[in-house]
Amino acid sequence: MKKIIIPTDFSENSYHAFAYAAKLFQDEPCTFYLVHTFTPSIYQTEYVLHSPGQIGLGDFYQTDSDERLAEMKERAEAQFNNPRHTMFTHSAFNVLVDEVLDMVEKEKADLVIMGTQGATGAKEIFLGTHTVHVIKKAKCPVIAVPSDFEFKKPKELLFPTDFEVDYTEKHFSALFNIADLHKSRIEILHISTGLELTRQQKENKAKLESLIGSRICRYHDVPNQEIIEGINQFQKTAEVQLLAMIQNKHTFLERLFIEPVIKKIGFHVTIPFMVIPDET
């Protein structure tokens, strides 16, 4: 059974991410973990000087979190009512990113699915801080779901690559699972540097072709340009419902996360964005 962690801050954006997950995997048995963390605003004073129990605040925040998670679960079960899906709620006094990472390890989760922004997220930033930190540290794939994305079955999956990764079956387990469930076509996008592929790149490309096997796919070579521009241009010419990339230290993702916001604005993520951790 697939295990999926859904972090929530009780915003509509986070519920939207759950709804996306429920629709994406409606035909597959899944266990969803609705996760909320709380860190009271007075943590720096009373929580340092006293225990939460002494001042009664721990119980208050825990109870509030539990109640709101129960409400979210009730809403989700009423809306989707899928016998293939099971939901658990989990609240904790912790930082969200740390709790999610702990749960990925503890539950051996297959995926984390979360909104791109929280309740107060700035729309001009393509990914919220929590999402970026989870993506960079999680040992399973993370799907970030834009708040205004209307669900469509993922018939076209875009996978940009520079063929610099030594691909393995594990890299693609989540992406291939989605492709197999929805009979999707995988669009392999290589943005050329103007140079011939190295021997290693050719070997990696051959390995990728072998892993894809009989699945439907197309290969695209785009002339030399910035990878962000290449992705944006491809999305304009083809209807794609999911963007997937492997995050390894050689790819542009690492640079993207540390570049100034003004550069990130150019990355128009209007569809769900899956980031796959590298094993190396």
Tell me: do 18 and 110 sit in the same domain. yes
Distance between CA atoms of residues 84 and 30, nearest Å: 6
Under the banding of pLDDT at 50, 70 and 90, the label for residue 278 is confident
Tell me: do 20 and 136 sit in the same domain. yes
Among candidate residues 113, 145, 177, the one where a domain is terminated: 145
Within a 10 A sphere around the Cβ of 1, how many other Cβ atoms?
10
Tell me: do 162 and 231 sit in the same domain. yes
Q: What residues make up the domain containing 168?
A: 156-277
Tell me: do 125 and 13 sit in the same domain. yes
Tell me: do 19 and 139 sit in the same domain. yes
Distance between CA atoms of residues 2 and 8, nearest Å: 19
Q: Tell me: the pLDDT tens digits for 8-55?
A: 999 999 999 999 999 999 999 999 999 999 876 555 455 445 555 544
Nearest Cα to Cα of residue 14 among 119, 85, 101? 119
Claim: this prediction has a pTM higher than 0.85? yes
**Domain annotation covers residue 151:** no
Contact 180, 214 (CB under 8 A): no
**Domain annotation covers residue 150:** no
Tell me: do 124 and 7 sit in the same domain. yes
Q: Tell me: the pLDDT tens digits for 203-252?
A: 999 999 999 999 999 999 887 777 777 887 888 788 899 999 888 765 55
Under the banding of pLDDT at 50, 70 and 90, the label for residue 259 is low
**Residue 233 φ/ψ, nearest 5 degrees:** -65, -40
Contact 231, 158 (CB under 8 A): yes
Tell me: do 115 and 92 sit in the same domain. yes
Tell me: do 163 and 248 sit in the same domain. yes
Six token digits for residue 263? 């550069």
Tell me: do 178 and 107 sit in the same domain. no
Tell me: do 23 and 135 sit in the same domain. yes
**Domain annotation covers residue 175:** yes
Distance between CA atoms of residues 218 and 184, nearest Å: 11
DSSP annotation of 140 = S
**pLDDT for position 120:** 43
Q: Tell me: the pLDDT tens digits for 51-83?
A: 555 445 557 788 899 999 999 999 999 999 999
Q: Tell me: the pLDDT tens digits for 136-175?
A: 889 999 999 988 889 999 999 999 888 888 999 999 999 9
**pLDDT for position 196:** 85
Tell me: do 141 and 32 sit in the same domain. yes
**pLDDT for position 123:** 47
**3-state class (DSSP) for residue 218:** strand
CATH of the domain at 134: 3.40.50.620
Four-residue CA torsion sign, 208, 209, 213, 219: positive
Domain count, the chain: 2
Distance between CA atoms of residues 213 and 110, nearest Å: 22
